[in-house]
Amino acid sequence: MDLEAQTSLVGAALIKDEVSRLPDSPGVYRMIGENDEVLYVGKAKSLKKRVIQYAQGRFHTNRIAHMVDATRAMVFVTTRTEADALLLEINLIKSLKPRFNVLLRDDKSFPEIMIRRDHDAPQLRKHRGAHTMKGDYFGPFASASAVNSTLNTLQKAFLLRSCSDSVYETRSRPCMLHQIKRCAAPCTGLIAKDDYQALVDQAEAFLRGKSRAVMASMAQQMEAAAEDLEFERAARLRDRIRALAAVSQESQINPETVEEADVVALHVEGGQACVQVFFFRAGQNWGNRAYFPRITGAAEEEGVSEEAQAMTAFLGQFYDDKPIRG
């Protein structure tokens, strides 16, 4: 593309001139404004059929009419398949952040719960970002408050440490968390390593959806302790079971057949969009988050609705930086 040759044409006239040279093949197009600003990135099954719609003047919103009027140049990349065009479009939107595209405008990563495995006494903690540490990751959760609430319950139920390694190494006697029955105090040897590891295994099993098995095992231990007249131990197990029962009841708003899934819903009305993402992990509903992506109202591709275009763009950006789990 010769940018200098296009200076006499702008807006719809420029786009119409470009269409005459476009192939009927998949690809990605960029609309460029003044000072080389990238206004919009789009993909198409047919570049010619898609781009010509901008030159015809039939727009859903004044916003798109303004985008066309502001166009001073266009850049095109043909691809082998429409899938290749979609991937390229996602990468360009992420790197260029065009102001007329669907944009999530939410750079915060989702919080997770992590059982750290790089220490003799595994740590239960909240985590954000890349999975760089050795351990088990559970999530995502919809919000930090949901993670904090769950961690609070898990501390009551499994008594795993939440302190940093530096604090752990300097303890000479149990801390307050042990006093309020939220930590087994492995730092001072009040629990054997094997027994602590058993608590870790129980916590992992619970977070993987085996809540009924974990609570049934605890119930058997509680009955055995009562029969042996170990009433204090039985009471501790009872309290742990109650804590797990409470968090299980809070998470029963679940489809019966869904164990691991993200459920995404979109509504578009009056040029505004709302996307709700619900997270189901280990058979439990771990909350939801609402997004209000900016949409363009751009001319529709043949046979593809505005809602479908918005959903495709949202999903591409939403999952671009998230690991795929088997």
DSSP assignments along 294-307, one per residue: B---PPPPTT--HH
Q: How far from each other are the two terminal CA atoms of the chain, in whole angstroms?
A: 44
Dist. CA 282–CA 136, nearest whole Å: 14
- Give the per-residue pLDDT at 12: 87
Dist. CA 281–CA 209, nearest whole Å: 8
Q: Residues 300, 306: contact at Cβ < 8 Å? A: yes
- Give the per-residue pLDDT at 114: 92
What string of pLDDT tens digits covers the 326 residues of the chain?
444 444 578 888 899 899 989 999 999 999 999 988 999 988 888 999 888 888 887 655 677 888 889 999 999 999 888 878 887 887 788 778 888 886 665 556 678 899 999 999 999 999 988 888 899 988 777 767 778 878 888 888 889 999 999 999 999 999 999 988 889 999 999 999 999 999 999 888 888 877 778 888 888 889 988 888 888 888 888 888 887 776 655 444 445 556 678 888 888 877 778 888 887 776 666 767 778 776 655 555 555 677 777 788 788 777 776 665 55
Rounded to whole angstroms, what are the CA distances from 287 to 39, 87, 113, 277, 301?
A: 35, 29, 14, 9, 34
Rounded to whole angstroms, what are the CA distances from 23 to 11, 15, 74, 218, 225?
A: 20, 14, 14, 67, 78
For the domain covering 4-96, report its CATH number. 3.40.1440.10
43: enclosing H helix or E strand: strand 38-44
The ranges assigned to domains in the chain are: 4-96, 112-250, 261-318
Tokens representing residue 128 in the block:
């954000």
- Give the per-residue pLDDT at 161: 93
Residue written as token pair 């260029």: 96
231: enclosing H helix or E strand: helix 231-250
